[in-house]
Amino acid sequence: MTAQGSAYTRLDRALATGDPLIVRMAAIECPRLSTADALRIVLVHASADRVRYPRLAARWVGKVAREQPLALGDLDALVGALLDLGQDYVAGCRSLEDAAMELGLADVAAAVRRHAPAA
């Protein structure tokens, strides 16, 4: 561990900056990302890097599909929320948080709340 902390601590600090490049550089150092941490990366890109956002969002849905026992319809709800997020960040955050809570993904909902603009 460096004087700057663990890779995950550096990722938390990078996420706080909201700079997609800094976030990507910090994420590379992490051996494994949770679904919630991966979503936090997606959220930064949804608001600051519209070019990379769609691909990162799709990869995140793939991660959820591999790691969570969800049905296809459940994934559809998450995809719909991510599409909303790409159009209107505030409304998309609400939609994504609601979908996550309905699906029992409390850590994902908490990640959205951490990054959602204050209402």
- Give phi and psi for 2, each to the nearest 5: -90, 175
Report d(CA 106, CA 65) in Å as an integer. Answer: 16
pTM, rounded to two decimals: 0.90
Question: Whole-angstrom Cα distance, residue 40 to residue 110?
Answer: 10
**Residue 26, domain member (yes or no):** no
Q: Residue 82: inside a domain, yes or no?
A: yes
Range(s) of the domain holding residue 39: 35-115
CA-to-CA distance for 7 and 31, rounded, in angstroms?
8
Number of domains comprising the chain: 1
Give the model confidence (pLDDT) of 66-111 as tens digits: 999 999 999 999 999 999 998 999 999 999 999 999 999 999 999 9
